[in-house]
Amino acid sequence: MTRPRVTLKLATSLDGRIALSNGASKWITGAESRAEVHRLRASHDVVITGIGTVLADDPLLSARIAGEMPDQPRRVVLDTHLKISPEAKLLNDVEGGPVTVFCGGSVPVHLRDRIAAKAEVVAVNRYDGPSIRLKTVLEHLAGDGVETVMIEAGGKLAGAAMRSGLVDRIEWFRAPILLGGEARSAIDSLGLERLDDAPIFTRTDVRDCGGDLWESYERADD
């Protein structure tokens, strides 16, 4: 089964940080960049995020474009222990696309039922460790006919996607500010010991986006 094509969206400072050490992140990039992100969401079948982002930011993850009625992506949350609240905005948003929450197979049925009243809940087995494997989620989505996915998440999920070699494209919005080494990184550790093992991408476009810089990259051929 062919997996969906995966885009990683990043919105960072110039030094690749997504939030201060205390979690403050609103807003790093400008209004123009945020508007383009909504258009990117509308151009993908699915937007994926992690439970950490949902708990920290309570996002809608819908496509909202003034004066337009854009296509709405399916919204997917990776939530191993099913920590999402029934009151989360995206579970109660009737204007956005449908929501699917992937949880671990050990989550009790009564907890799944609490969320299933508002979203599809898919329990996956966890043979490979304590976290849900992104590859397993992508395979499930491919079975539903999903062809394009965009990841909007914190450094943990972005790092996991990179380590697994699942990112085909990066859309990177950089704001003209510096947050420093104590701030939170856009991509967590890749566990590299040799430069030859580093993922390589080819820049395909760069343009101004308000006061920000918008760069597009495609994974380089092996």
Residue 183 half-sphere exposure toward CB, CA atoms < 13 A? 18
Compute the C-alpha angle 91/13/58, nearest 5°.
10
Ranges of residues in the chain whose predicted pLDDT is under 70: 1, 126-130, 222
Q: Which of 79, 49, 29, 40 shows the shortest CA–CA distance to 161?
A: 49
The secondary structure of residue 6, as a DSSP letter, is: E
Fold of 5-219: Dihydrofolate Reductase, subunit A (3.40.430)
| pTM confidence score | 0.93
Which pLDDT belongs to residue 31?
94
Which pLDDT belongs to residue 22?
81
Q: Which of 88, 93, 100, 34 shows the shortest CA–CA distance to 65?
A: 34
Which pLDDT belongs to residue 92?
96
Q: Is 36 exposed, middle or buried (0-12, 13-18, 19+ CB in 10 A)?
A: buried
CB contact at 8 A, 107 and 81:
yes
Tokens (6 digits) for 222: 């092996």
Tokens (6 digits) for 180: 């420093």
Which pLDDT belongs to residue 85?
96
Which pLDDT belongs to residue 42?
97
Compute the C-alpha angle 139/47/179, nearest 5°.
120
Beta strands in 89-211, from DSSP E residues, in sequence order: 99-104, 120-124, 148-151, 169-174, 184-185, 201-209
CB contact at 8 A, 140 and 133:
no
pLDDT tens digit sequence for 166-216: 999 999 999 999 999 899 999 998 988 899 889 999 999 999 999 999 999
CB contact at 8 A, 80 and 104:
yes
Residue linked to tokens 């123009």: 32
Q: Which residues, listed in sequence order, are joined to residue 150 by a DSSP beta bridge?
A: 7, 47
Euclidean distance between CA atoms 218 and 204, whole angstroms: 7
